[in-house]
Amino acid sequence: MATVSTGLPLGGVAVQKEESAADQVSQWTLMRWRFMQNRLSVGALVVLILMYLTAAVAPFLSPNDYNELDTDHAFAAPTRIKLVHGWPSVCPLTQTLDPDHFKWVYEADCERAVPIRLFVHGAKHRLLGLIPTDVHLFGVVDVPPPAEAAPSASKTAAKDSVASLLAGLGGQNVAGAASAQAETKAEKPPRLFFFGADQQGRDLFSRVLEGSRVSLTIGIVGVIFSLIIGSLLGAFSGYMGGVVDNAIQRTIEIIRAVPTLPLWAAFAAALPRTTTVTQRYLLITIVLSLVGWTGLARELRGKVLAYRALDYIAAARLAGSSHLRIVLSHMLPNAASHIIVIATLAVPYSILGETSLSFLGLGMLPPAVSWGVLLRDTQQIQSVLIHPWMLLPAVPVILAVACFFLLGDGLRDAIDPYS
Amino acid sequence: MLNFLIRRVSFMVISMIAISILSFVLIELPPGSAIEVKLQQLRQQGGDMTAEQVRGLEERYGIHDPIQVKYWKWISRAVKGDFGQSFQLDRPVKSLIWARLGFSVLLSSFALVFSWGLSIPLGVYSATHRYTLPDYVIQVLQFVGVAIPQFLLALLLLVLASRAFNQEVGTLFSQQFKNAPWSLPRLLDFLRHVWIPVVVLAVGGTAGLTRIMRANLLDVLGQQYVQTARSKGVAEHIVIWKHAVRNALHPLIMALGTTLPLLISGEVIISIVLNLPTTGPMYLQALLNKDMYLAVAFLLMLSLMLLIGNLLADILLAWVDPRVRLE
Amino acid sequence: MVTTSAVAEAKVSANGQVDNVIELEDLHVHFHTKLGVVRAVNGVTLEIPRGKVVGVVGESGCGKSQTAFAIMQLVPPPGRIVAGKIVLYPKNGPPVNVLRYDRNSDEMRAIRGGHVSMIFQEPMTALNPVYPVGDQIMEAILLHQTTDKKEAAARAVDILGKVGLPNPKRLLGTYPHELSGGMRQRAMIALALSCTPDLLLADEPTTALDVTTQAQILDVMRELQAEIGMSILFVTHNLGVIAQMADEVAVMYLGQLVERAPVEELFDEPRHPYTRALMRSIPHLGTPRHARLNVIEGGLPNQYSQVPGCAFHPRCPVAQPGLCDVYQPALRPVTPTVEVSCFLYHNLDGTPVAAPTQTASSGTGPPLGDALPA
Ligand SMILES: Nc1ncnc2c1ncn2[C@@H]1O[C@H](COP(=O)(O)OP(=O)(O)OP(=O)(O)O)[C@@H](O)[C@H]1O
Ligand SMILES: [Mg+2]
């Protein structure tokens, strides 16, 4: 920008170059650059990307089928990984009943430790939903059962009575499944349960991975729905002003006058209960966004009101643009950066919403798996006291929510460093 | 001021009407409700109840009427304080909700006071010690506090309380005080139990409010009048507490608009987890059983709680900031 | 202990002939930011004579405000006074080396508001919105002058009347938002003068006001300055205001003083090329209507970089290659009353240039003396 006579020595030229470079970079580059300065937010972004990638290939990363029942490992604790010959291996467990506490007790038999293998064959799945395969990144492979390991009849009988005892304690499925399997199956192969197993012996780690597909996407899909409603109505409200603005604003105020969770719950309770998993998923996202759009609309309206005062809108109006065109082609793009920030900060609330609803039994319902559905098992506080790993599905919830907050924060600082 | 109050109260009335319609429709629309189940039972039992009586009930609750007539029948009684019958629990709604609402209000207010009392000093400390270790610690805790779902925190505290303190949780009173009339020992017993839900409820709010307090105080500390106060020779702690904090309270009170709904939502969910005798568990049951009059009454009362809270916040705002005129 | 050493260090005016209120010596204020160091004040040496008004002019961002803040030790973080000396000579009492005190010490707070006070550019935000005007003025009086509330109130009413505000008694309970911009600035002046300071730092006190109000405020300041006998450091962009208010003028560029002169001399004969450019950039009566205003060529350089040599050379029309871009000129007397930092007026060794011309471009001798390559 400065035009200074030529022949300046180096110092002056250097000053010039820096200056013009700073002038030419676009708004977006500047924002990106400011965002990159914020280590914590960048870290959060990386974690989130990893989480979504993980969710995308969840079956591939799961060592077990998330729905596979295994009563021999009901409430098995997280598997201890032992190094055998320098290689991580899993010790098979044998199940016995502690009759004093009505509780399964497991003993590890590390004589027969089995190594964890990479790229093992297991349950069939579709990689990224496309490529059919049965390869999993890691897992343990069944070893051929030792010859003398067939279970004795007495043991089976004992197990049956125990199973029916346990069934009385709330494990309804245990009895039937246990007796059925005890007869057909020989010695149980070692299983890999990073996060332990649930009441029906399902691998919690695989279930958390599977649950992330619902929980992580429902947040984003919910926010996208909210965004569509919120940004259209919000921008429209701010731009039109007058009666339209008033009507939309009053509606928002009334919706916001109802506490969020009770309202969500009322909506969710009104949903039909006999739907497929996919239908339920969509309905829940709609429930979340029916309440969520108000916040977005309100913030956007504020931004539009500020933008409306700007000259170029007046210029566009003079040039004869229609109202809708002005809203769509001038205002929304201008508000884009703000929309991104607001949306990012709305995602964690959506995730928490789904988790809470499912936890209450009003959101996703079994057999669908989501983090909230998994956490529903923790409502039996006595069970949590004995099997604390049941709380592990909370970890990804907290992680995802915290990362979205951090990311939103960083983005906001990047687009508007002075606020 | 009077004008403001009249306007606000009329808005509240309109909101309540809108909310009652909304919730009525929401809960009535799906097929199958507790009242129908009840009537079916009655019809089958036959002996206990004459067909006449059944018809009387049907008439009273408008079983065969279109929804707007049903609503009208209900609302005209509701304004007189008769919210109808809980068919699940076989008792009038009004006999069920007030005590539970009272505990909800109490719990929420305790939590609000607690989180304000904590977040103001924390936010001030964080803002005045920017980029120091405690500031980072407070900020990290804030993120955890905001990110942790309240029901989870309740669970964790529940586990902790029964493990470490060996305290019975999931109640607001010990067994012997449960149905006793209020007395000093009962109050003390209540206080001994109430801390867990209050702490759980307050954590999320405290985290959010601390963030707001920190950001706003930083904002205010950059204002000219703070520099003016310093240039007068006012000591730094007085500059902060008298000149800056007072101005930073404004957004904190404005934030009540978002804090209160979170607080009420939180109260509902954690009392479900802790099984407290507040609105939460009964509301959830009512929803699940489609016990509609009970659910609608709770939803209305929770909304009323929020509306009154917001009104109080506005009045508080005018008191703290003379520039805000309630007109 | 601090006090005694501060007194001992103070430079007492040699023979009492020069009576300065304050002397700044080689003051440096740096802002350490993530992007680099901003040298907001970069070696300012300035004396303010007692009872005089010294105007400071310069482009936006040249460090005028930070110089004023430094005197109060109120440079906002991440700014820090990294070097220099500030000696204050109160009317009654021994001289003090201000920077000797911790910025939060009692001594420093006694100086702020008591001996030195400040008015800001933005009257709309300079008063705390949540306290009545009277409370804010009384707070200062109660800190420095009396502990009696009634007396403080009486003094506040008195000073509010003096700055020309109507009905001062009623004003005590009025909130800032109920006053107009001009009234607020008067209230701010009343606040600043309530403890009869030795030195008033006025940071563009009239920039935000309309012309009529501006003139009134300037009148009030002039009057009260004479009455109290204080000095004013008057920071402004507006050369017209300088002509009206100041006895002496200091011209600042990129954190440094480039010229100091009595106000008439500066307007008669601006010497530094920057001062000349500044003068040319004000429109005069009689300038042809559509003529382009004379703006200074070029923009300010990147604030994080340090320009080698004379800070102004990249924009200077008469810069001498090999000299101005390598060596930094020092502020030196050109006449007994005028000081300029420019190689047009003195050589590298400090000797005056024989015949100063605008096109002087002849090389000079090898580097000597105090001018160090940057
Ligand atoms: N908080 C800060 N962080 C970084 N740099 C700062 C900060 N505050 C001021 N500066 C820098 O200090 C320099 C001097 O600022 P100062 O406020 O003294 O300018 P000024 O001459 O008063 O300008 P104006 O006429 O616009 O008030 C500026 O270049 C500015 O970039
Ligand atoms: Mg300034």
State which residue of chain C sits closest to B322, comparing Cα positions. C130
Q: Is B164 on the interface with A (CB under 8 A)?
A: no
Asked if residue C186 lies in contact with residue C165, where contact means CB atoms within 8 angstroms, the answer is yes
> What one-character-per-residue DSSP string does B273-289 give?
HHT-SSHHHHHHHHHHT
Residue A383, min C-alpha distance to chain C (Å): 52
Query: Is the CB of residue C63 below 6 angstroms from any atom belonging to ligand 1?
Result: yes
| pLDDT of A277 over the 70 cut | yes
Is pLDDT above 90 for B121?
A: yes
Map tokens 């963030």 to a residue: B211
Structure tokens at A409: 């924060």
The CATH number assigned to the domain with range B93-320 reads: 1.10.3720.10
How far apart CA B97 and CA B282 sit, in angstroms, is 9
Among B41-45, C44-48, C159-163, C335-339, whose mean pLDDT is lowest? B41-45
From the CA of C68, which ligand is nearest? 1
Which of chain C's residues have a Cβ under 8 Å away from the Cβ of B321? 129-130
Whose tokens are 């098995």? That residue is: A76
Residue of chain A nearest C310, judged by CA positions: A12
Which residue(s) pair with C55 in the sheet? C234, C249
Span B277-301, average pLDDT: 85
Q: What angle do CA A95, A98, A99 make, to 5 degrees?
A: 130
Neighbouring C-alpha atoms within 13 Å toward the C-beta of A33: 9
The tokens of A13 are what? Answer: 């030229």
CATH number, domain A44-55+208-415: 1.10.3720.10
How remote is the CA of residue C142 from the centroid of ligand 2, in Å? Answer: 29
Say what the pTM is: 0.75
Q: How far apart are CA B197 and CA B5, in angstroms?
A: 33
Q: C66 CA to middle of ligand 1, Å?
A: 7
Where residue A17 falls among pLDDT bands split at 50, 70, 90? Answer: very low
Q: Which of C298, C305, C309 faces A2 most closely, judged by CB atoms? A: C298
A348 interfaces chain B, CB cutoff of 8 Å? yes
d(CA B127, CA B219): 10
The bridge status of strand A114-127 relative to strand A87-90 is antiparallel
Q: Which residue has the higher pLDDT, A390 or C355?
A: A390
pLDDT score of A308 more than 90: no
Q: Phi and psi at residue B317, in whole multiples of 5°?
A: -60, -45
What are C227's two structure tokens? 């009455």
CA of C181 to the centre of ligand 2 (A): 18
Strands (E), A56-130: 81-84, 87-90, 93-98, 103-108, 114-127
Mutate to test the interface with B, among A252, A275, A356 (most CBs of B within 10 A): A356
Residues of C in contact with A8 (CB under 8 A): 314, 321, 325
Nearest CA to ligand 1 atom 28: C61
Q: What mean pLDDT is predicted for residues B2-13? A: 83
CB contact under 8 A, B155 and A391: yes
**Cβ proximity of B193 and B172 under 8 Å:** yes
Residue in this structure with the two tokens 């467990």, named with its chain if needed: A93
Q: Scanning every residue of chain A, which has its alpha carbon at the shortest distance from the alpha carbon of C308?
A: A11
CB B245 within 8 A of CB B120: yes
CA distances from A394 to A50, A195, A283, A408 (A): 17, 12, 24, 21
Instruction: Of B8-12, B213-217, B320-324, C207-211, give the range with the top mean pLDDT.
Output: B213-217
Compute the average pLDDT of residues C114-131. 88
Q: Which residues pair with A105 in a beta bridge?
A: A96
Contact (CB<8Å) C297/A4: yes
Higher pLDDT, A292 or B111: B111
The rounded distance, in Å, linking the Cα atoms of B270 and B149 is 10
The residue behind tokens 């001996």 is: C115
> Which of ligand 1's atoms lies nearest the C-alpha of C69?
18
Q: Distance, in angstroms, between C296 CA and closest chain B CA? A: 31
pLDDT band for position B316 (cuts 50, 70, 90): confident
**CA nearest to B263, candidates B150, B133, B143, B123:** B150
> What percent of chain A has pLDDT above 90?
2
Cβ–ligand 1 distance for C185 under 6 Å, the answer no
Least Cα separation, residue C154 to chain B (angstroms): 18
**How far is residue A312's CA from residue A316's CA, in Å, rounded to a whole number?**
6
CA distances from B175 to B96, B101, B182 (A): 20, 21, 14
Instruction: Tell the residue nearest (CA) to atom 12 of ligand 1.
Output: C40
For chains B and C, what is the number of CB pairs under 8 angstroms? 74
Query: H helices within B148-223, ranges in order?
Result: 150-160, 184-221
Find the range with the poorest average confidence among C10-24, C97-111, C232-246.
Answer: C10-24
Phi-psi region at C69: left, alpha or beta (left = phi > 0; alpha = psi -120 to 50):
alpha
Q: Whose CA is nearest to atom 30 of ligand 1?
A: C61
Higher pLDDT, C329 or B91: C329
Q: Specify the pLDDT at position B125.
A: 93
- pLDDT tier at B163 (50, 70, 90 boundaries)? confident
Which residues are C30's β-sheet partners? C39, C80
Q: Name the residue among B154, B133, B111, B128 with its Cα closest to residue B281.
A: B154
Q: What is the mean pLDDT of residues B17-42?
A: 73
Strand ranges in chain C using DSSP code E only, listed in sequence order: 20-33, 36-49, 53-57, 79-88, 96-97, 116-119, 199-203, 231-235, 248-253, 256-262, 332-333, 339-340
Q: Which of residues 215-274 of A touch B (CB under 8 A)?
A: 253-254, 256-263, 265-267, 269-272
Round the CA-based radius of gyration of chain A to a whole number and report it.
Answer: 29
Higher pLDDT residue, A29 or A173?
A: A29
Q: How confident is the model at residue A26 (pLDDT cuts 50, 70, 90)?
A: low
Domain residue ranges in chain B: 2-78, 93-320
Which residues of B fall within a CB distance of 8 Å from C114? 233
- Ligand sitting nearest the alpha carbon of C61: 1
Residue C46 bridge partners (DSSP)? C24
- Phi, psi for A228 (deg, rounded to 5): -60, -50
Domain limits, CATH 1.10.3720.10, in chain A: 44-55+208-415
Q: In terms of DSSP bridges, do strands C53-57 and C248-253 run parallel, antiparallel, or are they unpaired?
A: parallel
The mean of the pLDDT values for chain B is 81
Of C255, C299, C259, C339, the C-alpha closest to C65 is: C255
Shortest CB distance from B232 goes to which of C76, C139, C177?
A: C139
Using alpha carbons, list the distances in angstroms from residue C139 to B193, C148, C181.
Answer: 47, 11, 22
Chain C interface test: which of A3, A4, A25, A39 (most C C-beta within 10 Å):
A4
Structure-model confidence comparison of residues A8 and B152, the more confident one: B152
Q: What is the pLDDT of residues C60-83, one digit of tens each?
A: 888 899 999 999 999 988 889 999
Residue C76 alpha carbon, nearest atom of ligand 1:
1
Q: Where is pLDDT greater, at C344 or A9?
A: C344
Q: What token pair was written down for A7?
A: 């022949």
Side chain identity at residue B312, one-letter code: L
Mean pLDDT of C282-304: 61
The residue whose C-alpha atom lies closest to atom 7 belonging to ligand 1 is C31
Amino acid code (one letter) for A365: L
The DSSP bridge partners found for residue C89 are none
Q: Is C33 in the pocket of ligand 1 (CB under 6 A)?
A: yes
Contact A297, A338 (CB under 8 A): no
Distances (CA, A) of C310 to C313, C321, C363: 5, 11, 16
Residue ranges of alpha helices (H) inside chain B are 2-28, 34-45, 51-61, 67-78, 93-128, 133-147, 150-160, 184-221, 224-231, 236-238, 246-254, 256-274, 279-288, 292-320
Which residues, listed in sequence order, are joined to residue C346 by a DSSP beta bridge? C352
Q: How far apart are the first and last CA of chain C?
A: 39
From edge to edge, which strands make up the β-sheet containing C20-33? Answer: C36-49, C20-33, C79-88, C96-97
Least-confidence region, from A4-18, A132-146, A377-391, C189-203: A4-18
Q: In this complex, do B147 and A257 lie within 8 Å of one another by their Cβ atoms? A: no
Cα dihedral: C226, C232, C238, C239 (round 10): 70
Which of C109, C110, C129 is opposite residue B323, by nearest beta carbon? C129
Whether the pLDDT of residue B322 is over 90: the answer is no
Categorize the per-residue pLDDT at C231 as very low, low, confident or very high, splitting at 50, 70 and 90: very high
Q: Which residue has the higher pLDDT, B301 or A238?
A: B301
Average the pLDDT over each of A414-418, B247-251, C259-263 and give the range with the smallest value.
Answer: A414-418
Greater confidence (A177 vs A336) lies with A336
Residue nearest to atom 13 of ligand 1 (CA): C40
Which of C37, C65, C69, C121 gets mutated to test ligand 1 (max ligand atoms within 8 A of its CB)? C65
Nearest CA to ligand 1 atom 17: C65
Do A14 and C305 lie within an 8 Å CB cutoff?
yes
CA A128 to chain centre: 17
Q: Which atom of ligand 1 is nearest to the CA of C29?
A: 12
Considering only CA atoms, which residue is closest to atom 22 of ligand 1?
Answer: C65
For ligand 1, say whether the CB of C40 is within 6 Å of any of its atoms. yes
Widest pairwise Cα distance in chain C: 70
Q: State residue A160's pLDDT score.
A: 46
SS3 call for C146: coil
* Two structure tokens written together for B91: 């008792």
pLDDT of residue A46: 93
Quote the DSSP letter at residue A190: P
Q: Identify which of C320, C349, C352, C326 has the alpha carbon closest to the alpha carbon of residue C338.
A: C352
Q: Is the CB of C30 under 6 A from ligand 1?
A: no
CB contact (8 A) between residue B144 and residue A384: no
Conformational region of residue B8, where left means phi above 0, alpha means psi within -120 to 50, and beta covers everything else: alpha
